[in-house]
Amino acid sequence: MQKIELNIAALSLSESQAGNYVLILEDEESKRRIPIIIGQPEAQSIAIAMEQMKPIRPLTHDLMMNLITGLGAKLKEVLIHRLDDGYFYADLVLEKEGTELRVDARPSDAIALAIRCDAPIYTYNSVIEESGIWTESLEVRQKKGSLAEYSLLELEDLLLRVIAKEDFESASKIRDYIESRRGEG
């Protein structure tokens, strides 16, 4: 199976799951996006690494990176290989002296570590097909369709993009719609 490299497109508070964050990963080539809901500690760890902040004492993901390098290994890549019942599954692919070792990890932890180790993040087309959002199709639907056509994760992605364009009036409407949908569930 061919791997597809992903980049972090956004990290924001989740509108559909209070207290959590949404991490948007994007396939640069096709512009397909994968939204992953993550907890506050993992979001904070990812944000700290993305901003290249140096805490006074090592965070858990810093400790993990120090253990890997201290043992003479390298984080070769992170592979988000499966989506099952709404949960993503990832592996840390470690390499030491030409030997690979795969370690099961939550995607949020794996991504926090990948940023620190400057390792690429990959997935398979099947994972994107099952969970992905096509940016172009959202733009068409934004102009022509109803918000009711969107899933909550698609709405969160749309909200992030509208905020990035500084269209705060539309962002307010989308946020209110997300809150009303959340109230129905």
Where do the domains of the chain lie?
1-185
Q: What is the model's pLDDT at position 145?
A: 53
pLDDT at 183 over 60: yes
Q: Which of 98-112, 134-148, 160-174 has the lowest average pLDDT?
A: 134-148
Task: Could you list the beta-strand ranges (E) of 50-134.
Answer: 74-84, 87-96, 99-105, 121-124, 133-134
Which letter, b or e, does each residue of 13-49 get, where b requires 16 or more Cβ atoms within 10 Å of its Cβ?
Answer: ebbbbeebbbbbbbbeeebbbbbbbbeeebbebbebb
pLDDT at 78 over 90: yes
> Sheet containing 87-96: which strands, arranged edge to edge?
99-105, 87-96, 74-84, 121-124, 3-13, 21-26, 32-38, 133-134
pLDDT digits (tens, 9 = 90+) for 20-32: 888 989 988 888 8
Model confidence band, residue 40 (pLDDT cutoffs 50, 70, 90): very high
Q: What is the model's pLDDT at position 158?
A: 77
CA 127 and chain centroid, separation: 13
Q: Which residue has the higher pLDDT, 62 or 130?
A: 62
Q: What is the model's pLDDT at position 71?
A: 95
Q: What is the model's pLDDT at position 74?
A: 97
CATH class of 1-185: alpha beta
Mean pLDDT of 60-78: 96
pLDDT digits (tens, 9 = 90+) for 113-166: 999 999 999 999 889 888 866 655 444 334 335 677 777 777 777 777 777 666
Q: What is the model's pLDDT at position 63?
A: 95
Q: What is the model's pLDDT at position 85?
A: 84
Q: Which residue has the higher pLDDT, 185 or 39?
A: 39
